Amino acid sequence: MAKLQSLDPNTPMFAQFKEKTGPIVLANTFVVPKERTEAFLALFRRQAEFMKAQPGFVSLQMHKGTADSQLLMNVAVWESTEALATAFGSPEFQRMAAEFSDDIVSYPHIFEQINV
């Protein structure tokens, strides 16, 4: 299973699930060894198909770091933290998450849009 790390050590993602807000953006940056990229993306695509079918899902994009980077970043929009937490906590999603190699590190964080 991939290692989950907090992007903001003062506000881990699971604490963010308690805040009832929305719409929200989940930005999840993954550090993926180059030799695992294709296997990671195949499993991620399965997870994405599952998530797209969940209530409250809005959109998803995956990005790859440039210049031979080992970083991949998922940006997913959800109607609410509640919808994301429900989908994330589902047994089917957790089974798929357990399939990721343990040398992958994930840095998920939930954001709200602000007007500037």
Confidence of residue 91 (pLDDT cuts 50, 70, 90): very high
Q: Is the residue at 68 inside a domain? A: yes
* Number of domains the chain contains: 1
pLDDT of amino acid 46: 95
Q: Is residue 87 part of a domain?
A: yes
- Sequence-separated contacts (24+) of 37-46 with Cβ below 8 Å: 37/72, 39/101, 40/72, 40/100, 40/101, 40/104, 41/72, 43/96, 43/99, 43/100, 44/72, 44/74, 46/96
Is 49 a domain residue?
yes
**So what's the pLDDT on residue 13?**
84
The answer to whether residue 70 is domain-embedded is: yes
What b/e sequence results for 10-46 when a residue is b if at least 16 CB atoms lie within 10 Å of its CB, and e otherwise? eeebeebbeeeebebbbebbbbbeeeeeeebeebbee
Residue 12: per-residue pLDDT: 87
Q: Is 72 inside a domain boundary?
A: yes
**Is 34 a member of any domain?**
yes
Q: What is the CATH number of the domain that holds 52?
A: 3.30.70.100
- Does residue 31 fall inside a structural domain? yes
- Residues of the chain with pLDDT > 70: what percent? 100
| Tokens at 81, concatenated | 């933290």
Range of the domain at 81: 1-6+21-110
Q: For residue 29, tell me if it sits in a domain.
A: yes
For the stretch 7-47, pLDDT in tens is 898 998 889 989 999 999 999 999 999 999 999 999 999 99
- What is the tens place of the pLDDT at every residue in 60-84? 999 999 999 999 999 999 999 999 9
